[in-house]
Structure 1
Amino acid sequence: MLEINKIYNQNCLEGIKKIEDETIDLIVTDPPYCIGTTSNGKQGTWNDNNLVEPFFEILFSELKRVLKDGAAMYINTDWRTYPFLYPILKKYFEIPNLIVWDYEWIKCGGQYRFSHEFIIYAIKGKRKRTFSASERDVWRIKPINYTLPTKLHNAQKPVALVEKMLLNSSVEGDVVLDTFIGSGTTAEACIRNNRNYIGFEIDEHYYKIAQDRINNL
């Protein structure tokens, strides 16, 4: 088992092999959006996804291996990437619902302004509900203001969003895995809520930002 409460600067497919079977209590992760398109999110073809499909086949297989039976997983995504991820993920996990993250405000967009993203809620095997029966599948949480100079990552998620996942689907002392930890939001949420974490970030720039962030907590 890898050392907990640590972020590793490496490819998650390499690092996850060092995690023992069924030792993770919760997975919270945020893989890149706009798969199969260029950086502006408007070009490319659906067939381009064939280039990255083997990556996610291996990743989801490994996530199933390390996740405890009956445990949950949250994957951030958007409307462009969800149709690609869903059929691959369905091979390995049950998918009870798709959560809509409502920004409570609007971002850019030429044909209707963007005001939401998706969160795939998946489980390994069978899981009893651990949150209120009145919990809705629309979460209203304000995002990071990406125009501010204080932002740490272009895809940075608010701590409050990750905290909701932690509080709904884990208990204190649990081990949470994030294979695309970016600027370290999941690590901060875990520290603030007495959870343990393991994170992978392949980009050295963001790895250093995440390290500084958790060291300053």
Structure 2
Amino acid sequence: MFDKIIDSLGEPYFQTENCLIYNADCVTSMIKLPPEMIDLTVTSPPYNIGKEYEKKMDLSDYLDWCKSWLKEIYRLTTSNGSFWLNLGYQSVENIGKAIPISYFLWDKTAFFLIQEIVWNYGAGVACKNFFSPRNEKFLWYAKDPENYIFNLDDVRDPNVKYPNQKKNGKLKVNPKGKNPTDVWQFPKVTSGRNRSSNERTPHPAQFPIAVIDRIIKASSNPQDVILDPFLGSGTTAIASINLNRKFIGFEINKTYCDIAVARIKQKLSQPVQTCLSL
């Protein structure tokens, strides 16, 4: 499969036995790939809010651009595959101060929307005139609403208040734990001299590995192919390698590619690692 990708796209920026990274535009690259080769896509595109890695567009242009990569992700996804999309907020003149971008995009794809997940984190900007933002959204899509991977037992929360409670002599709670629900509480990757997270990189919008880890466990199986078309600091790649999945990533910014590559090399240099046959 990786040979087919390389035949279509040329030599990658970085390659390991189970990982391909391309320093390239994701839309023009995905168009060249054969259909139905990706089991799970997990990504967080630019929010169009003027961050250092993006050029702010008019809202209509931004939504048109989003529809272009949404279309390609759908085409590349296997029949029982899923797509997890993280989105933040955007201010729209005369409309709203902090509108979740998911409200603009949730129906702009052929995917079936399974659920919205709220990621609640601790750190963030303090506000005076409205409540301090402490969450972002994930939209969980499936290509087939009747046939998609969901490994609940792999992501159950073992923190059960009454784990031994019984009814009619049987345990009321699954011994593996409870369903984590649709509100997830994971700390943000913080920066700063005294509070910087251990996994912090120079990337300005980095995900914690724990969030992506849960998504990959829930929505894919070992040896599956994971895609992140907006690779950023490489968190999806790290989580995929940790969980014995194959990974393909696109990142248009060479500096961020180098950050991701450094993280992957560091991960693979650790004594305990799993190699996959392709």
Q: What's the TM-score, normalizing by structure 2? A: 0.69
Q: Which blocks of at least 5 consecutive residues in structure 1 are unaligned? A: none
Q: CA RMSD in A?
A: 2.1
Q: Secondary structure at the match of 1:18?
A: coil
Q: Distance in 2 between matches of 1:135 and 1:63?
A: 27
Percent sequence identity is 30
- For 2:191, which of 102, 126, 146 is the aligned residue? 146
Q: Distance in 2 between matches of 1:53 and 1:78?
A: 14
Written as runs of structure 1 = structure 2, the 5 A alignment for 1:1-217 is 1-3=4-6, 5-33=19-47, 35=48, 37-39=49-51, 48-79=58-89, 80=99, 81-89=101-109, 92-103=110-121, 105-110=122-127, 111-126=130-145, 127-128=147-148, 129-132=150-153, 134-147=179-192, 148=196, 150-217=200-267
Q: Distance in 2 between matches of 1:139 and 1:166?
A: 15
Task: Note closer, same or farther for the CA distance 1:56–1:185 as it changes in structure 2 (3 Å cut).
Answer: same
Q: What residue identity is the alignment partner of 1:67?
A: T
Q: Secondary structure at the match of 1:95?
A: strand
Q: Which blocks of at least 5 consecutive residues in structure 2 are unaligned? A: 7-17, 90-98, 154-177, 268-278
Q: Please tell me whether the aligned partners of residues 234 and 263 of structure 2 are also in contact (alpha carbons under 8 angstroms).
A: yes
Q: Which has the higher contact order (CA 8 A, sep 6+)?
A: 1
Moved over 4 A (4+): 37-40
Q: Distance in 2 between matches of 1:30 and 1:17?
A: 19
The total of aligned residue pairs comes to: 207
Q: Distance in 1 between matches of 2:62 and 2:70?
A: 13
1:151, distance to aligned residue in structure 2 (A): 3.0
Q: Please tell me whether the aligned partners of residues 78 and 117 of structure 1 are also in contact (alpha carbons under 8 angstroms).
A: yes
Which protein has the bigger helix share?
1
Deviations, residues 162-192 of structure 1 (Å, cap 9, x unaligned): 1000100111100000000101101100111
